[in-house]
Chains A and B, each alone.
Chain A
Amino acid sequence: MPSLKDLKNRINSVKNTRKITKAMQMVAAAKLRRAQEAAEAGRPYAERMNAVMASLAAGVAGSEGAPRLLAGSGKDQTHLLVVMTAERGLCGGFNSSIAKLARNHAQELAAAGKTVKILTVGKKGREQLKRDWGHAFVGHVDLSEVKRIGYANAAAVARQVTAAFDGGEADVVTIFYSRFQSVISQIPTATQIIPAKFEEGAATSALYDYEPTEEVILADLLPRNVATQIFTALLENGASEQGARMSAMDNATRNAGDMINKLTIQFNRSRQAAITKELIEIISGAEAL
């Protein structure tokens, strides 16, 4: 049975924790709005890019001279997994669910006899994958100093990825990130970016003039498309992270409130018990006289 003083300290400490989680929740809410705006601002570009790429790719697909980024290197031996997570924790299952998806994927590939390489973006995913897949790490991109993710950050990651592909160090590249659905739901997603895949049926039927030729445009756009997809993923991830943190902190705040109530009841009971005990002692003392 804890003493009254212990209980009082306990209540105060939980109250402080609640203040912190409440503050984090509000900060996350403000950041979420900004992250969502950024994700939305990037959407038109990604959509148009995808539409044009799909129609271009449909025209070139199957032909002999298709660019390697589209057709692949002809093998699927080495898989590069780009795992994008947050730089910070305290955001519920956000980082773990991405890491879990990547881990499962890596295990499947390894079981099928493929070589797995992992490039991590964001510290938390690296920490979680280190134990099982530390030997497969080929690099890490640190974004902890970056306040606002810009296209330049994505382009840098894309350069690393395409360099690995061009150098024959990877045949298939897949990115792992969390798609932002709503504040309470973020979906860990795996998307293959090299060789590029496009949704069928998106192709426009209009007959375009191409300047310069279709192939040259495609060769120019494919690397950009890789960067765009990575950028979109980073933005989605940013929004997801804040959303996950917001709901995690909301839960934590509520739990802290429940705990304070429980402890307060316990505190009041103990105090009352002490008072009753003293009274009994006094009364029985008086009766004895």
Chain B
Amino acid sequence: MAGNLQFDLVSPERKLASVPATEVQIPGAEGDMTAMEGHSPTITTLRPGVLRAVTAAGVQSFVVTGGFADISPASVTVLAERAIPVAEATPAVLDELLAEARAEAAAALPADKAQAEKTVNDVAALREAVLKH
């Protein structure tokens, strides 16, 4: 049985979660990763995606966009620019996110274009994934 690590999820506006979790699945910029107790210290940026924390009370899922995760052997702190519990992520909210990402991509400088378009794809994939549930 794996031990617990402290899982914190904060957005600029509020603290969404602060609970012990056995594992946390993070949508990293370079691929998903799962952090469990004893994970080596890592800092990774996030891509828009679904963050899952497995806790004693069940699985908590959040839609997150932008930000980073700070993983240490005993804790995971996710700082997301925007974090929404999956239950609150209605199609309208997701559509808005997608529209925002598209607008940003359209306005992006050529140097940032690829990055912005990748974000649009990520958000679109995220939308599909959440709506399927």
Contacts and interface: CB of A to CB of B under 8 A. Distances in A.
Interface of A: 38, 41-42, 44-46, 48-49, 52, 56, 150-151, 154, 206-212, 216-217, 220-221, 224, 227-228, 231
A45 B12 contact: yes
A48 B13 contact: no
Q: SS class of chain B's interface: helix, strand, loop or mixed?
A: strand
A208 B79 CA distance: 17
Given A206-B72, A208-B41, A210-B44, 6 more contacts: A38-B13, A52-B43, A151-B82, A211-B42, A212-B45, A228-B12
B28 A211 contact: yes
Contacts of A228: 12
Nearest to B104: A159
Interface in B56-111: 66-68, 70, 72, 77, 79, 81-82
8 contacts: A41-B14, A42-B14, A45-B79, A209-B43, A211-B42, A212-B29, A217-B68, A231-B12
A194 B125 CA distance: 35
A41 B43 contact: no
Nearest to A150: B13
Q: SS class of chain A's interface: helix, strand, loop or mixed?
A: helix
Given A41-B14, A211-B29, A217 B40 contact: no
A63 B55 CA distance: 42
Contacts of B12: 42, 45-46, 151, 154, 227-228, 231
A126 to B, nearest CB: 26
Contacts of A217: 43-45, 68
A48 B10 contact: yes
B68 A208 contact: no
Contacts of A231: 12
A224 B43 contact: no
Please give me the 9 A-B residue pairs with the lowest Cβ-Cβ distance, nearest first: A211-B44, A209-B42, A151-B12, A41-B14, A45-B10, A208-B41, A206-B41, A44-B10, A45-B12
